[in-house]
Amino acid sequence: MTTGDHANHDPESPEQVIEASRRFREDFEAARTEVGRVVVGQAELVEQVLICLFVGGHVLLEGVPGIGKTLLVRTLAQAVSLSFGRVQFTPDLMPADITGTTVVTETESSDGRRERRFAFQPGPIFAQLVLADEINRATPKTQSALLEAMQERSVTVGGVSHRLPEPFVVLATQNPVEQEGTYPLPEAQLDRFFFKLLSRSPGRADLAEILARTTGATTPVAKPCLDATGLMSHQRFVRRVLVTPSVQDYAVRLVLATHPGGGFSMVDKYVRLGASPRAAQSLILAAKCRALLEGRTAAGTDDLQAAALPALRHRLIMNFEAHAEGVTADTVVTSLVQGLPREAP
């Protein structure tokens, strides 16, 4: 298991950069392999979740119940040796059930007097990898309790700010089918998710393999292959990957093109509000990570295009006409990627 001791200092020389890049790929592949020991199929989903983890971004997983979303998150925590917290979102869940609360404790002093004092009791959000299960079942007030945590990596309780552990990543799940008793996530919270990923139902071969692994005498378990220190070292290294001005400009033009009036008729017709600057940040960081996985130390437009759907689909607010005609954000993003010139005119 990588301890991170060899990566306490950011690489400076070309040889150190090459070595850091090699370690990045090895640790990423080791984590992918360990997760694959437990999670059947879903290869693309696993890779995209790992990309978010290796850049420090939050993930929104959407899929019907029973296809392994919770298993994926729990297995990921085991493979990367991160502390794990789970919050089951329900309509009666209160913000304090997530962040924690201040309680009165009573202690006895050395001279026998009993003293009362206020003490903070941390909630399940105080973990390195937090599963927010069925996040859209909680009320907006409770959902907002995650906003500060996801953006600032801290929570405020009773006027006192408490830092969350590092690294800190939220993986939230939601069911796209059952809408009764759910509350749509506000745009401000959706924007804080690095990627929105769609979890697909297994095919025939994958379902057969799931049965073979889960109904036998033994159940596979992921082994730790990386720790928090090594992971944070990789997260810092991703940010050092080169992005040329032309590639960065492509990301800028792609995000601006999602806004009405940006020059694309489909956007003008179906999109009410385009992507935010956080979308451009997600595109660039994901492109950097993908470049490293392919043995490159510079990101290209292909890397940006590969990240476009998961980075943009939840940041486009579609209008009534889009909903009426069944036009999705995925359709618009795909059209933009195909139609936007790689080089600026």
In the numeric block, which tokens belong to residue 96?
Answer: 């304090």
In angstroms, what is the C-alpha Rg of the chain? 22
Whole-number Å distance between alpha carbons of 27 and 106: 47
Exposed, middle or buried, 104 (CB in 10 Å: 0-12/13-18/19+)? exposed
Whole-number Å distance between alpha carbons of 345 and 330: 25
- In the chain the first and final C-alpha atoms are separated, in Å, by 48
Whole-number Å distance between alpha carbons of 147 and 243: 29
Asked whether the beta carbons of 89 and 136 are under 8 A apart, the reply is yes
Complete domains list, the chain, with CATH? 1-92+125-240 (3.40.50.300), 241-340 (1.10.8.80)
Backbone torsions φ then ψ of 92, nearest 5 degrees: -95, 5
pLDDT at 209: 77
pLDDT at 10: 62
DSSP states along 66-81: TSSHHHHHHHHHHHTT
Q: Tens place of pLDDT for every residue, the chain, 345 residues?
A: 444 444 445 666 778 888 889 999 999 999 999 998 888 878 888 899 999 999 999 999 987 776 677 888 888 988 988 999 998 888 888 888 888 887 777 777 667 677 777 777 888 899 999 999 888 888 888 888 787 788 888 888 777 888 999 999 999 988 776 666 677 787 888 899 999 998 877 778 878 877 877 777 777 788 889 999 999 999 999 999 999 999 999 999 999 999 998 888 999 999 999 999 999 999 999 999 999 999 998 999 999 999 999 999 999 999 999 999 999 999 999 999 999 998 877
pLDDT at 170: 92
In the numeric block, which tokens belong to residue 160?
Answer: 């006192």
Q: Is the dihedral of CA 306, 310, 315, 317 positive or negative?
A: positive
Q: What is the CB neighbour count within 10 angstroms for residue 216?
A: 9
∠ CA 312-314-316, nearest 5°, is: 70
Q: Is 105 helix (H, G, I), strand (E, B) or coil?
A: strand
Q: Is 29 helix (H, G, I), strand (E, B) or coil?
A: helix
Chain centroid offset of residue 68 CA: 16
pTM of the shown model: 0.87
Chain centroid offset of residue 177 CA: 21
